[in-house]
Amino acid sequence: MKILAKEHGLAVLAQASPGVWELAGSASTGYWSRVPGSTSAFVSSNYFDLAGMSMEDKTLFFEAAGVQSPLAPAIATPTAGDQLIIADLMSSSPLTDLEALNVLIFGNFPPAPISFQETIYGRIEQHVVDVDTLAWGSLKLLNTQQIGSMMPTASDRVYSYRVVLCAGVSVNAVNVTVAAARHILQANAKAEPDHEYMMRLLRSYQLQQEPDVD
């Protein structure tokens, strides 16, 4: 059994003008970027490198998946009712930043860019500021949903994304801080009969038609 982990860094988002958010580059860590065309959505992209297992002609069967993070998100100078949505995604198919945002909005239901089978694991959380947490700016977890199939893969990569949408944060807020997170996969690498493995390998290839950008 193998434990695989990929990390997404701290994100500090500053409100440059009402409703327009920017990445505070000196405070943030990792690979965050603002979604093209958006004023309030940000994505961190990474991937699990499974090339060693694919070279051995083995299929990865997932046993469990999860997300680790040390702190709840926080807002400087919040207003009661402010909300933040965070999605953590692990997919057998690569996504653009805009496609990752669409998964946050639609899940893996049409017209989302990935299906149930391609979503190995997904967690979408809604955090809000209420009257009890207003004084110190910490957001409270209001709702969390999990989506995904945990389908095995013969691909040499599993793609890992973290998406933050702060469109629901009021104009009074100065900045939003989202703690770093770690995506965890627990899996077994097993050999399959040749026919099944070749069909799974073909499917993995079809899901990765667009070239990867390292």
Question: pLDDT digit string (tens) for 136-173?
Answer: 888 999 999 999 999 988 788 999 999 999 999 999 99
How far apart, in whole angstroms, are the C-alpha atoms of residue 185 and residue 176? 28
Confidence (pLDDT) at 59: 82
Q: Can you tell me whether residue 187 is helix, strand or coil?
A: strand
Confidence (pLDDT) at 154: 79
Confidence (pLDDT) at 19: 95
Give the angle subtended at the CA of 205 by the CAs of 148 and 151, to the nearest 5°: 25
Contacts of residue 45, defined as CB under 8 A and 6 or more positions apart, other chains included, come to 31, 33, 97, 100, 159, 160, 161
How far apart, in whole angstroms, are the C-alpha atoms of residue 48 and residue 100? 17
Confidence (pLDDT) at 200: 47
Confidence (pLDDT) at 209: 52
Domain boundaries, the chain: 2-206
> What amino acid occupies position 161?
Y
On average, the pLDDT of the chain sits at 88
Q: What is the pLDDT of residues 68-110, one digit of tens each?
A: 999 999 999 999 999 999 999 999 999 999 999 999 999 999 9
Q: Is residue 87 within 8 Å of 123, Cβ to Cβ?
A: yes
How far apart, in whole angstroms, are the C-alpha atoms of residue 60 and residue 188? 6
pLDDT value at 195 more than 50: no
Q: What is the pLDDT of residues 38-65, one digit of tens each?
A: 999 999 999 999 876 655 667 888 999 9
Q: What is the pLDDT of residues 17-46, one digit of tens each?
A: 999 999 997 788 888 999 999 999 999 999
Confidence (pLDDT) at 205: 53
Confidence (pLDDT) at 106: 97
Q: pTM for the whole thing?
A: 0.88
